[in-house]
Chains A and B, each alone.
Chain A
Amino acid sequence: MRPDLNEVLRRRAAGTGNMVLVLHEVSHALDRLARTGETHVIDLSSLPMTPVELQQLIASLGEGEVRAVIEAEGRSEVTETGFSGVWLVTHRDTDDMLRGRYIEITPLPEILRSQDADIRAAAARLARKLDQISDLEEAS
């Protein structure tokens, strides 16, 4: 048996009601973060919402103090919402197409941190660069 799709479509047009559910989930997760430090991620693409609802959700979270853009195989945006600890993360690919939208409840979204592997690589690169510079200096 399949669901009655006409009904599904009608309901979808009327809104899914998921926006409030998401806000509840955020609120619980934020509470846990405050008490135990446990982080949480919500995948917005896994929850059906009308574009209007999504806008309302983002609007009700508001804007916070941080707004960062990451260029990694396409642009990603990380913004802190009006509620500290609640972040909105948007991933796009090289063609600027939306690939995922997440609400992260964390002190700092993982993608924002410099990654250990990148740090190690960077250290090596910088050392090489210094070597080159000192080589050049010696030569002159």
Chain B
Amino acid sequence: MIRRQQTLGERLEERGISRRSFLKFCTTTASLLALPPAFAPRIAEALESQRRPSVIWLSFQECTGCSESILRAGSPSIESLIFEAISLDYHETLQAAAGHQAEAAREQAMAENMGKYLVVVDGSVPLGNPGFSTVAGQSNVETLKRVAKGAAAVICMGTCSAFGGIPYAKPNPTGAVPVSEIITDKPIVNVPGCPPIPAVMTSVIAHYITFGSLPELDDLGRPKVFYGQNIHDRCYRRPFYERGQFAQSFDDEGAKAGWCLYKLGCKGPTTYNACAVLKWNEGTSFPIEAGHGCLGCSEPNFWDKGSFYAPLSTATELGSGTVAAGVLAGAVLGAGAGYAGRKMQEKGKAGPFEAPPVADAGQKENS
């Protein structure tokens, strides 16, 4: 892992990956980043000529799903080529080293690449009690602060590190927070998703290596190329939505005919991600194509936005309890008002004059 003197070509050759495959990777990466094809040679050149940037991968409160998604250890893909272009110096699940050796490797990588290395984080950081999640006796907050200090940028991989994700969901027992609440003085890219689409991550890294900068971000810190459009706008079921043809259950005729899944809780209309375009599992399909609504996994707090199966247009907190409480409070107020009204009427009657007749429902009739 540490043989840095090798050229990219040699490394590729060693892995039995031809130069043509690499060209193909650069070309398709340019397409993904919505760059003109002329940029492909530039990407190739950048990936080759520069020293491989050191990448330190920190895993906090996470399920390793993001690593799985990105590395897809089982089926090597063109995306995995990015790992030839970077020097992954620390990744708890992947590295061969263990214990103090592993920590030492990280310290060394940090020292050698001060101010230049990239930090990738998956998982959220617990603040409730430092003991909730520790590695080598160091709490996640300490590790993050220490490692981020010398970083060029931090890439938050997955919804947990970007927005808090599942650990952050109510009642948030560990006091989890996203990375951006701890690190405020470094450029941060959020690549949310539960998990994110693999090609999105590799492209963000490729962009960084090629241009030495991060791609353009939206107001939630997500690269605009991938998170600029919402699922609903690119969904192939959209015409059914327009016509009001909704599947009523997952196995009715509408579902079989591929109708819109809004009624079954699809969050596509409020979710910004590239699923409908890039798709999943090497472009096989995406969840809506497989018949399930979008969960909105790339949006903050997607876990706490009511049921995954409730349509977007339903109330999340309004229920019979609210109505019952309203009836009760209204009854008390009404009784009070009625009583006061009676008292006033009686007082009027007892007066020296004949009381003017009191209308029961003095509203003028409405058109």
A43 at the interface (CB under 8 A from B): yes
A9, A42, A98: the one contacting B283 at CB < 8 Å is A98
Q: How far is the CB of A94 from chain B (nearest CB, A)?
A: 6
Given A97-B284, A118-B20, 5 more A-B residue pairs with CB atoms under 8 Å apart are A9-B239, A9-B242, A41-B40, A74-B24, A111-B20
Point out residues on B near A: beta carbons under 8 Å.
9, 12-13, 17-21, 23-25, 27-28, 30-31, 34, 36-38, 40, 75-78, 81, 233, 238-239, 242, 282-284
Q: Is the CB of B282 within 8 A of A97?
A: yes
Q: Is the CB of B13 within 8 A of A95?
A: no
Contacts of A13 on B, CB cut-off 8 Å?
Answer: 239
Q: Is the CB of B20 within 8 A of A115?
A: yes
A28 at the interface (CB under 8 A from B): no
Interface centre among B19, B40, B81 (most CB of A within 10 A): B19
The SS class assigned to the A binding surface is mixed
Q: If A9-B239, A93-B282 touch, does A118 touch B19 (CB 8 Å cutoff)? A: yes
Q: List 10 A-B contacts (CB under 8 A).
A: A41-B38, A46-B36, A70-B20, A72-B21, A73-B21, A73-B76, A73-B81, A91-B28, A111-B20, A118-B18
Contacts of A5 on B, CB cut-off 8 Å?
Answer: 233, 238
Contacts of B30 on A, CB cut-off 8 Å?
Answer: 43
A43, A110, A117: the one contacting B9 at CB < 8 Å is A117
Q: If A95-B282, A110-B23, A117-B9 touch, does A41 touch B37 (CB 8 Å cutoff)? A: yes
| Closest B residue to A119 using CB positions | B19
Q: How far is the CB of B184 from chain A (nearest CB, A)?
A: 32
Q: Is the CB of A73 within 8 A of B37?
A: no
